[in-house]
Amino acid sequence: MDNFNFYSPTYFAFGKDREQDAGALVKRFGGSKVLIHYGGGSVVRSGLLDRVKASLNAESIPYVELGGVKPNPRSGLVYQGIELCKREGVDFVLAVGGGSTIDSSKAIAAGVVYDGDFWDFYCGKYIDKALPVGTILTITAAGSEGSPDSVITNENGMYKRGATGDAIRPKFSILNPALTQTLPPYQTACGITDIMAHLYERYLTNTKEVEVTDRLTEALLLTMIHEGPRVIENPDNYEARANIMWAGMMAHNNAVGVGRSQDWTSHDIEHELSALYDCAHGAGLAVTLPANFTYVMHHDVMRFAKVAVRVWGCQMDFDHPEVTAKAGIEALRRFFISIGMPKYFAELGAKEEDIPKLVNSLCRGNGRPGCLTGFTTLNEEDCATKPGFQMRRPNIWKRFFWNIQTLRSATR
Amino acid sequence: MDNFNFYSPTYFAFGKDREQDAGALVKRFGGSKVLIHYGGGSVVRSGLLDRVKASLNAESIPYVELGGVKPNPRSGLVYQGIELCKREGVDFVLAVGGGSTIDSSKAIAAGVVYDGDFWDFYCGKYIDKALPVGTILTITAAGSEGSPDSVITNENGMYKRGATGDAIRPKFSILNPALTQTLPPYQTACGITDIMAHLYERYLTNTKEVEVTDRLTEALLLTMIHEGPRVIENPDNYEARANIMWAGMMAHNNAVGVGRSQDWTSHDIEHELSALYDCAHGAGLAVTLPANFTYVMHHDVMRFAKVAVRVWGCQMDFDHPEVTAKAGIEALRRFFISIGMPKYFAELGAKEEDIPKLVNSLCRGNGRPGCLTGFTTLNEEDCATKPGFQMRRPNIWKRFFWNIQTLRSATR
């Protein structure tokens, strides 16, 4: 196990009707004037926004509002939010929504107390200062309610990048599973996929002797496999929603990922897709994960066999572990399809002629050194000499996307 | 799942040599004059105390010292610590040791800023104010490094009681697995047992639909079963120590126990034993857990069958689930014996003639209403009418201890 620091000071208020505590929690964590940041539509229609305002009013806490956050949240609205907060003297940002709203709120909170352009944080600058952020979660997916991360799409070029810093960890997060019951099955499935991606990307490690975090990660995957289909079948299932909600937070606050190398290449690949095609992040991951895993499996067959046996209940083929490893990846792919997720890049709107642009932005965009690192190094070069690779793979990125294309045409 | 709050704001600095960060962390969390609180012996001999002092000196942070904490830490030393802190103007308590030292430090920290007798907190008063506490952990067991709890033995009557409050959650905890490598196998085994008890006592719930916390608890039990024997066999195994250390924290900061009823009756029973006989807490639990579980098993056979199958790898007997349930309890008992823990109460020094005294203190001591509640209600009365019990069990506490006595004589 590697040395690490772990710091997750968010106060979680979990359960039915907990949004009524919003005002008291803002007060507890030092807010005296609030920006309520949200998307729109359902938050307003469901009456949630009114309940949140009533809770702030009950504590005599003034507020301003900024709605309009879209999935794959945009830099433009962040600039608006920063300006609004400065003008109005806001000292607390309250996100009411899903991961996009929370990420947008975090960006605003960091930008308000920073003299430069907030985008600096999304080019690698660590966020060490921000207004306090609170969240009222309505979509279980991104894990942003308990994480120090934020992902924003820059409208100047349409590319997505992440920023991080303990300063943007929410002071509190209100997790009421009932608020997620109105989510349509497709969005619910996207959330389930995102959570499972956060777990798999922690699971794919090169660090040895990490039994505790392996087991914890497997536990959360098993939970998702059990509870996921239950909410797809019955969106009103409060109990299944509740289990998924806590699993989603635990999957991404890093308690189950400490002390080990991780692999975020699938997320990086997906970010290019959702930035360019504005597809749902979870849907992009459902296609990317199994494709990527099939590609990198030979780097550590036993690790893929382990998750296949422990999580998917595959029988271990002791003579041919790669058979078990592949069966686990296939089980993951089938699971995503079973909950309504796409199988092919084309279903996301991706086009073959965009491959050079995607690969270039992925491997060379925003100061990247021409490759992605994680479980293994992915670049545009021949990587035949790398340990763990058992065959020559010329121009692996092109080949990766080509594989997908082939798979698509072959099975249509 | 039940509504809950979860708040674990401790900063964990994990890994080799991390004690050298003690001074910087005290500074970060606002300490300007420190009480270093410890047991003695190994902390001094190993040079750890000197390294901690050097780290404080490097940050120019003055300190006073108070050693002498014993296992099952006593109220007398807490009073001394409180007085010392007041006299010297201490504003930060740094625990260097295991659970006993940390619990004693928490008691001192709460007592310093309280006008009344600190024992009030151990009679049920919530701790809402305390000096900040930091820890440098040397024994993986109690989970006190990440918990809001403290257990102290009152020397006036020799009984153990617990106190709780977010104010005594450590501001930081330094977890260096190498510091635990010098622990003798017996103490190591006691720690393993204590951690597994924390997990089982969360597992025994009457709350339905708690798959996520079930799975997480099982994950940590599986980790202990894998790593425990490895450190008993080779105390120098850093990697196994590291896995156990993170599992021990996760087992007790309650991330895996939220939103469900829990069962702390085994801990309560054990506290009477270690208070009266000064036996090791873990050793007492090794005897108490399987005995108690055998006794309460029929309250929810399927729950015991579940842990038997998922954690101990028992085959499910679908026609006779109670066979599987019992096999799981037997596997737990055998595991404890295999790592060197006792099997019988007599091995702890317990005497048959003390049973009335033990039962009275347990069920009626310190304001208790004549029973213990948790997974099921345990009292001195006939509980034949209680749902889940399938036979008359007159005077169950006497019977409980009598069972143990019988078991002991029968197998000797």
**pTM for this entry:** 0.93
pLDDT of residue B384: 28
pLDDT of residue B296: 87
Element (H, E) at A94: strand A92-97
Asked if residue B107 has pLDDT above 80, the reply is: yes
Span A237-251, mean pLDDT? 98
Span A65-89, mean pLDDT? 96
- From CA A298, how far away is CA A275, in angstroms rounded? 30
pLDDT of residue B311: 98
- Which pLDDT band, with edges at 50, 70 and 90, does A411 fall under? very low
pLDDT of residue A372: 77
- Residues in A touching B259 (Cβ below 8 Å): 14-15, 242, 246
- From CA A134, how far away is CA A118, in angstroms rounded? 19
Asked if residue B391 has pLDDT above 50, the reply is: no
pLDDT of residue A56: 98
- Smallest CA-to-CA distance from B251 within B140, B152, B166, B169 is with B140
Please judge whether B14 and A6 are an interchain contact, meaning their C-beta atoms are less than 8 angstroms apart.
yes
Element (H, E) at B97: strand B92-97
- From CA B291, how far away is CA B403, in angstroms rounded? 8
- Residues in A touching B13 (Cβ below 8 Å): 5
Asked if residue B339 has pLDDT above 60, the reply is: yes
Lowest mean pLDDT across A314-328, A395-409, B276-290, B329-343: A395-409
Please judge whether A210 and B243 are an interchain contact, meaning their C-beta atoms are less than 8 angstroms apart.
yes
- Which pLDDT band, with edges at 50, 70 and 90, does B295 fall under? confident
3-state secondary structure of B149: strand
Record the tokens describing residue B204, joined without a space: 């025994």
Lowest mean pLDDT across A85-94, B56-65, B293-302: B293-302
For the stretch A334-354, pLDDT in tens is 999 999 999 888 888 887 778
Classify residue B395 as left (phi > 0), alpha (psi -120 to 50) or beta. left
Span A242-249, mean pLDDT? 98
| A396-410 and A281-296 helices, crossing angle to 10° | 110
% of chain A at pLDDT higher than 70: 91
Contacts of A380 (CB under 8 A, 6+ apart): A359, A363, A370, A371, A395, A396, A397, A398
- Smallest CA-to-CA distance from B404 within B347, B345, B353, B359 is with B345
- Which pLDDT band, with edges at 50, 70 and 90, does A412 fall under? very low
Looking only at the bridges linking them, the beta strands covering A92-97 and A63-66 are unpaired
The C-alpha angle B243, B244, B250, rounded to 5 degrees, equals 95
- Min Cα distance A129 → chain B (Å) is 15
Span B66-88, mean pLDDT? 96
- Smallest CA-to-CA distance from B212 within A237, A180, A226 is with A226
Is the four-CA dihedral A146, B130, B4, A25 of positive or negative sign? negative
Record the tokens describing residue A91, joined without a space: 């000292």
Place of tokens 């830490």: B73
pLDDT of residue B275: 86
- Which pLDDT band, with edges at 50, 70 and 90, does A64 fall under? very high
Span A224-253, mean pLDDT? 97
- Domain coordinates in residue numbering, chain A: 11-180, 185-410
- Smallest CA-to-CA distance from B112 within B139, B140, B84, B135 is with B84
Q: Which of B4, B6, B28, B218 to mutate to test the interface with A (most CBs of A within 10 A)?
A: B6
Instruction: Identify the bridge partners of residue B162 per DSSP, sorted by sequence position.
Output: B151
Across the interface, which of A5, A210, A243 has its CB nearest the CB of B212? A243
Please judge whether B227 and A247 are an interchain contact, meaning their C-beta atoms are less than 8 angstroms apart.
no
Element (H, E) at A136: strand A133-137
Asked if residue A394 has pLDDT above 80, the reply is: no
pLDDT of residue A350: 80
Which of A256-270, A366-380, B6-20, B288-302: highest mean pLDDT?
B6-20
| Rg, C-alpha atoms of chain A | 21
DSSP codes, A299-345: G-HHHHHHHHHHHH-PPP-SS-HHHHHHHHHHHHHHHHHHTT---SG
Instruction: Identify the bridge partners of residue A96 per DSSP, sorted by sequence position.
Output: A38, A136
DSSP state for residue B84 in the 8-state scheme: H
- From CA A171, how far away is CA A11, in angstroms rounded? 6
pLDDT of residue B223: 98
**Predicted ipTM of the assembly:** 0.93
Record the tokens describing residue A280, joined without a space: 């749902």
- Residues in B touching A259 (Cβ below 8 Å): 14-15, 242, 246
- Residues in A touching B170 (Cβ below 8 Å): none
Interface of A with B (CB under 8 A): 1-16, 18, 177, 208-213, 215-216, 218-220, 222-223, 226-227, 239-240, 242-244, 246-247, 250, 255, 258-259
pLDDT of residue B399: 52
Asked if residue B141 has pLDDT above 60, the reply is: yes
Mean pLDDT taken over chain B: 90
- Min Cα distance B3 → chain A (Å) is 4
Q: Judge contact between B192 and B244, C-beta under 8 A.
A: yes
- Min Cα distance A24 → chain B (Å) is 14
Domain B11-180 belongs in CATH node 3.40.50.10860: no
Asked if residue B410 has pLDDT above 90, the reply is: no
Span B168-177, mean pLDDT? 98
Q: Which fold has domain A185-410?
A: Dehydroquinate synthase-like, alpha domain (1.20.1090)
Please judge whether A14 and B220 are an interchain contact, meaning their C-beta atoms are less than 8 angstroms apart.
no
Q: Which residue of A has its CA nearest to B174?
A: A5
Please judge whether A216 and B212 are an interchain contact, meaning their C-beta atoms are less than 8 angstroms apart.
no
